[in-house]
Chain A
């Protein structure tokens, strides 16, 4: 069966440009999570959705970061006015519901800001 998919797989952008990262969760999964992994750093939580609502946005590093989810399915993470420190792998995960044991991760989007 199809797993979590993310697009693009790689993105190179110039400092100051906006980028959109997309996540397609596993069909039927109501919970969706965004994490990022910077070079040499661990994985850090950004935001999660239950349905189309985002009860926890505590991990978003600045107001340049936003995310939305529509139709309880696809989610988009938007980074405005990108900075070099935004360079990282952005990972999306989904699960059957909040608190369910297993989160299934996508392959990630590797973002490089020049």
Chain B
């Protein structure tokens, strides 16, 4: 599985936008970019995923670089509840099984 690189930690103030970067320079053409997050003392939860085009859902937006070697998860207005570890994961096509988690980015949100 291709590797992803994320900053260890980031900080934000409440109600400000947050841009969480992820580098995946060895991504292959069939790799989907998935984001999960893990709130304190909880299991991970799905956030968003995409292949080539930018994606939006009620939780976040995913901006994918044209060469697909990097992507950015965008939280439009951070809340205290968004404080979590965010994981960027590559999944080879949709016929894959396990999730390979890296170390993720720990997001702190200040009031």
Question: In this assembly, does A77 line the interface, its C-beta being within 8 Å of a C-beta of chain B?
Answer: no
Assembly CA distance A104 to B44 (angstroms) = 8
Give the residues in chain A near B96, CB-CB below 8 Å.
98-99
Most buried by B among A31, A44, A101, A107: A101
Tell me whether chain B's interface is mostly helix, strand or loop, or mixed: loop
Taking Cβ atoms with an 8 Å cutoff, the residues of A that contact B are 4, 31, 33, 35, 42-45, 48, 55-56, 59, 91, 93, 98-108
Taking Cβ atoms with an 8 Å cutoff, the residues of B that contact A are 32, 34, 38, 42-46, 49, 87, 93-104
Give the residues in chain A near B43, CB-CB below 8 Å.
4, 91, 93, 105-108
* A–B complex contacts, Cβ < 8 Å, 5 sampled: A4-B43, A55-B97, A56-B98, A101-B32, A105-B44
Assembly CA distance A101 to B101 (angstroms) = 15
Contact B49 A59 (CB under 8 A): no
